[in-house]
């Protein structure tokens, strides 16, 4: 079963969840709500920064 944490607002929360093995996160710490039309642009602009956040996908943290 995969887990999803909602309401993640800080890097500390993100790190803790990664250490606990959480699979996915969402919340203001990732991005504020935005119109669908802006989503792909946001993903493109922030992909390079993803190396700076904990690795949630494998649950191992950074």
Contact (Cβ atoms closer than 8 angstroms) between residue 54 and residue 30 = no
**Tokens standing for 56?**
């949630």
pLDDT tens-digit profile of 31-40? 899 999 999 9
pLDDT recorded at residue 43: 86
CB within 8 A of 48, min separation 6: which ones? none
Q: 46 or 49, which is more confident?
A: 46
Mean pLDDT of 38-49: 81
SS3 letters across 13-51: HHHHHHHCCCCEECCCCCCCCCCHHHHHHHHHHHCHHHH
Q: How far is CA 39 from CA 3, 33, 43, 45, in A?
A: 23, 10, 6, 10
pLDDT tens-digit profile of 49-62? 556 665 555 555 44
């Amino acid at each position: 079963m995969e887990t999803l944490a909602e309401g993640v607002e800080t890097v500390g929360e993100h790190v803790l969840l990664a250490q606990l093995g959480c699979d996915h996160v969402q919340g203001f710490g990732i991005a504020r709500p935005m119109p669908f039309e802006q989503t792909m642009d946001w993903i493109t602009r922030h992909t390079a920064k993803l190396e700076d956040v904990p690795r949630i996908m494998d649950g191992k943290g950074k």
